[in-house]
Amino acid sequence: MLVSAKEMLEKAVAGHYAVGQFNINNLEWTKAILTAAQETKSPVILGVSEGAGKYMTGYKTVQAMVAAMVEEMGITVPVATHLDHGSYEGCKKCIEAGFTSIMFDGSKYPIEENVAKTKELIAICKEKGMSLEAEVGSIGGEEDGVIGQGECADPQECKMIADLGVDMLAAGIGNIHGKYPENWAGLSFETLDAIQQLTGDMPLVLHGGTGIPDDMIKKAIDLGVAKINVNTECQLVFAEATRQYIEAGKDQEGKGFDPRKLLKPGYEAIIEKVKEKMELFGSVGKAE
Ligand code: 13P
- Probe residue for ligand 1, chosen from 19, 212, 229 as the CB with the greatest number of ligand atoms within 8 Å: 229
Report the predicted TM-score, pTM, of the whole model to 2 decimal places: 0.96
Q: What's the pLDDT score for residue 150?
A: 61
Indicate if 84 belongs to the active site: yes
Q: Relative to the CA of 206, which ligand 1 atom is closest? A: 8
- The Å distance, Cα 178 to ligand 1 centre, comes to 6
**Closest ligand 1 atom to the C-alpha of 175?**
3
Choose, from 84, 163, 214, 215, the residue flagged as catalytic: 84
For 82, phi then psi, to 5°, come to -130, 125
**pLDDT tens, the chain, 288 aa long:** 999 999 999 999 999 999 999 999 999 999 999 999 999 999 999 999 999 999 999 999 999 999 999 999 999 999 999 999 999 999 999 999 999 999 998 877 888 898 999 999 999 999 999 999 999 877 777 655 554 456 899 999 999 999 999 999 999 999 988 888 888 889 999 999 999 999 999 999 999 999 999 999 999 999 999 999 999 999 999 999 999 999 999 999 999 999 999 999 999 999 999 999 999 999 999 998
Distance 232 CA to ligand 1 centre (A): 6
CATH topology of domain 6-281: TIM Barrel (3.20.20)
Domain extents for the chain? 6-281
**Closest ligand 1 atom, CA of 103?**
10
Q: Which of 46, 49, 144, 232 to mutate to test the pocket of ligand 1 (most atoms within 8 A of CB)?
A: 232
Q: Of all atoms in ligand 1, which is nearest to the CA of residue 210?
A: 4
Q: Which of 24, 25, 107, 143 to mutate to test the pocket of ligand 1 (most atoms within 8 A of CB)?
A: 143
Kindly give the number of the ligand 1 atom that is closest to the alpha carbon of 141.
3
**pLDDT for residue 179:** 85
Q: What lines the ligand 1 site, CB under 6 Å?
A: 23, 47, 84-85, 177-178, 207-210, 229-233
- ∠ Cα 242 141 244 (to 5°): 10
Q: Ligand 1 centre from 175 Cα, in Å?
A: 10
CA 214–ligand 1 middle distance (angstroms):
16
177 C-alpha vs ligand 1 centroid, how far in Å? 5
